[in-house]
């Protein structure tokens, strides 16, 4: 599916007169990375390198305080974790007043943004190179088991605080539940977790992806045979093509929004068309092929379980021939669930199943907008009023108790 989309972009772009692909009229935000964007809008920004137990070197981005404010160790730390194919840029590309990272920084928080192993910003390792297949042998399990603990410990160490707030979108919630069940000692480091478009169970997935998931075994075989270990890395060509096809003057702009809707649910009211080139400029940011396959396995099995290596290797790795399920009763951190009825990737009934297994869900919120979709949690025109204001009110409440 996604390959098809990319192919469409490339074919359409080659059919266009080259003068239309000129960059001069593009929004500069398309080409700036996360720290450059933050600095461009006049906010303080820091880059931090964090080493995981298994040797991956991750880059975190931090906005230590709001514009025209002073740094202070009293600012409560908030950790933001992006979803599949995404990066720290998710939280800033819509700009000040819109991106959650800016809103939190201006509201008095110390904002830390993670980047999962294998994405555009976290492609280093103490000994492995991204050219080696071994580097790419991970899924969101390792992101939850190693990346999050390393990043959370790093933030707590840097700020001298004992606990932090965690906000995750999509895969950023999956990673959290993995951490909470495989590394339960980390639950006590979480003041509260806010799950945006939670993804644990996926058997009721409603998008064309659910059909594709049926071919996950074939995908695994093909990827292994061809050595395709990396999936949808960030590409400048795609950025330029996306910018040309999706900008305000382009007749093809509706094609761009329709591709997003096809994957995530239709919601033209909440998508700011002007910003589509910026989104394409930052997404996809890449991950391992295995990460995608692991999700495909979830769709097919109906379980929230560990990676399925096949009978023989499962026996070797897990001591049983099917992959064990994550024990969600160990996720004892306080959790808030935010979901939407038009979110095709995070189905309401799947969220209900997750809710029934998590022992400490304080509250769940069905976003008050019937058309709200999976990506609206990051980029909707009214996301602040519909979701973020509610989260910040709850954070205040936690800080007062
Ligand atoms: C942070 O880590 C360093 C090195 O491990 C340690 O010396 C320091 O005491 C830690 N600081 C806090 C506030 O935990
Ligand atoms: C859409 O984005 C543009 C560029 O950032 C901005 O000027 C405009 O106000 C936005 N529109 C809405 C409805 O938020
Ligand atoms: C899951 O964890 C709970 C709490 O520690 C424990 O009682 C239960 O036996 C575990 N379930 C499985 C299937 O391991």
Give the 3-state DSSP-derived string for 213-241, with helices as H, strands as E and coil as C: HHHHHHHHHHHHHHCCCEECCCCHHHHHH
Report the residue among 27, 96, 275, 279 best suited for mutation to probe ligand 2: largest number of ligand atoms under 8 A from its CB: 275
**Mean of all residue pLDDT scores within the chain:** 88
Question: What is the model's pLDDT at position 45?
Answer: 98
How remote is the CA of residue 107 from the centroid of ligand 2, in Å? 22
Number of Cα atoms under 13 Å in the Cβ half of residue 20: 17
pLDDT at 210: 72
Mean per-residue pLDDT, 383-395: 98
pLDDT for res 7: 44
Cα of 128 from ligand 3 centre, angstroms: 36
Which residues contact ligand 1 via a Cβ below 6 A?
157, 160
330 Cα to the center of ligand 3, angstroms: 7
Name the pLDDT band for 362 (thresholds 50, 70, 90): very high
Q: Is residue 110 a contact partner of residue 311, using CB atoms and an 8 Å limit?
A: no
Least confident of 139-143, 161-165, 261-265: 261-265
- Enumerate the active-site residues: 170, 374
The whole-number pLDDT of residue 14 equals 40
Q: Which residue has the higher pLDDT, 248 or 154?
A: 154
Q: Which residues line ligand 3 (CB under 6 A)?
A: 327, 329-330
Question: Using one digit for the tens of pLDDT, what is the confidence trace for 175-206?
Answer: 999 999 999 999 999 999 999 999 999 988 87
| Minimum CA distance residue for ligand 2 atom 3 | 274
Nearest CA to ligand 3 atom 13: 327
Pocket test for ligand 1, best of 50, 152, 157 (most atoms within 8 A of CB): 157
- Residue ranges covered by each domain of the chain: 32-234+284-400
Pocket of ligand 2 (CB under 6 A): 95, 272, 274-275, 381
Cis peptide before 284 (omega within 30 of 0): yes
Pocket test for ligand 2, best of 37, 272, 281 (most atoms within 8 A of CB): 272
Residue whose token pair is 């103490």: 126
Look up residue 153 and give its two tokens: 């410990």
Nearest residue (CA) to ligand 2, atom 6: 274
Residue nearest to atom 1 of ligand 3 (CA): 327
> Which of the ligands is closest to the CA of residue 161?
1
Give 283 Cα–ligand 2 centroid separation in angstroms.
19
Residue range 235-252: mean pLDDT, rounded: 74
Question: Residue 328 C-alpha to ligand 3 middle, in angstroms?
Answer: 9
Confidence band (pLDDT; 50, 70, 90) for 123?
very high
Separation of 31 CA from ligand 2 center, angstroms?
A: 18
Lowest model confidence (mean pLDDT) among 42-56, 187-201, 226-240, 347-361: 226-240
Residues 8-53: tens digit of each pLDDT:
444 444 444 333 444 445 678 888 999 999 999 999 999 999 999 9
138 pLDDT above the threshold of 90: yes
The share of the chain scoring above pLDDT 70, in percent, equals 89
Q: How far apart are CA 196 and CA 378, in angstroms?
A: 9
Q: Distance (Å, rounded) from C-alpha 2 to C-alpha 162?
A: 41
We find that the CATH architecture of domain 32-234+284-400 is 3-Layer(aba) Sandwich (3.40)
Cα torsion 287, 289, 292, 298 to 10°: value is -140
pLDDT exceeds cutoff 90 at 283: no
- Gap between the Cα atoms of 381 and 319, Å rounded: 49
Q: Whose CA is nearest to atom 6 of ligand 1?
A: 157
Q: Note the pLDDT of residue 393.
A: 98
Q: Check: pTM over 0.85? Answer yes or no.
A: yes
- Which is more confident, 268 or 162? 162
Instruction: Pick from 238-242, 330-334, 397-401 the range whose average pLDDT is largest.
Output: 330-334
In this prediction, residue 243 carries a pLDDT of 75
**Beta-bridge partner residues of 144:** none
Q: Which ligand is nearest to the CA of 182?
A: 3
Nearest CA to ligand 1 atom 3: 157
């Amino acid at each position: 599916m996604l390959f098809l989309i990319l192919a469409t972009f490339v074919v359409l772009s080659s059919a266009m007169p080259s003068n239309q692909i000129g960059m001069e009229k593009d929004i500069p935000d398309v080409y700036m990375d996360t720290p450059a964007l933050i600095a461009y809008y006049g906010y303080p920004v820091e880059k931090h390198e964090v080493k995981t137990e298994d040797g991956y070197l991750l880059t975190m981005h931090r906005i230590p305080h709001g514009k025209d404010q002073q740094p202070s160790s009293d600012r409560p730390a908030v950790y933001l974790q992006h979803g599949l194919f995404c990066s720290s840029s998710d939280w800033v590309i819509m700009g000040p007043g819109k991106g959650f990272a800016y809103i939190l920084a201006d509201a008095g928080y110390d904002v830390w943004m993670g980047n999962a192993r294998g994405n555009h910003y976290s492609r280093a390792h103490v000994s492995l190179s991204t050219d080696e297949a071994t580097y790419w042998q991970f899924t969101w399990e390792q992101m939850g088991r190693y990346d999050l603990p390393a990043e959370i410990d790093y933030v707590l160490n840097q700020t001298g605080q004992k606990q932090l707030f965690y906000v995750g979108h999509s895969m950023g919630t999956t990673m959290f539940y993995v951490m909470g069940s495989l590394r339960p000692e980390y639950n006590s480091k979480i003041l509260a977790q806010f799950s945006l478009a939670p993804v644990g169970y996926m058997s009721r997935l409603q998008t064309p992806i659910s059909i594709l998931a049926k071919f996950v075994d074939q995908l695994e075989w093909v990827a292994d045979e061809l050595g395709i270990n990396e999936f949808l890395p960030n590409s400048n060509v795609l950025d330029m093509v996306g910018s040309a096809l999706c900008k305000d003057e382009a007749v093809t702009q509706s094609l761009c929004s329709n591709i997003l809707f096809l994957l995530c649910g239709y919601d033209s009211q909440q998508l700011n068309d002007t910003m589509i080139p910026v989104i394409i400029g930052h997404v996809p940011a890449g991950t391992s092929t295995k990460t995608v396959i692991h999700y495909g396995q979830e769709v097919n099995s109906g379980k929230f379980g560990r990676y399925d290596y096949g009978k023989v290797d499962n026996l070797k790795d897990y001591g049983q021939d099917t992959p064990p399920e994550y024990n969600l009763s160990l996720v004892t951190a306080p959790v808030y669930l935010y979901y939407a009825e038009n979110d095709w990737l995070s189905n309401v009934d799947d969220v209900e199943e997750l809710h029934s297994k998590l022992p400490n869900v304080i509250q769940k919120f069905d976003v008050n907008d019937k058309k709200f979709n999976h990506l609206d949690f990051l980029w909707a025109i009214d996301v602040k009023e519909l979701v973020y204001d509610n989260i910040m009110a709850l954070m205040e409440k936690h800080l007062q108790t």
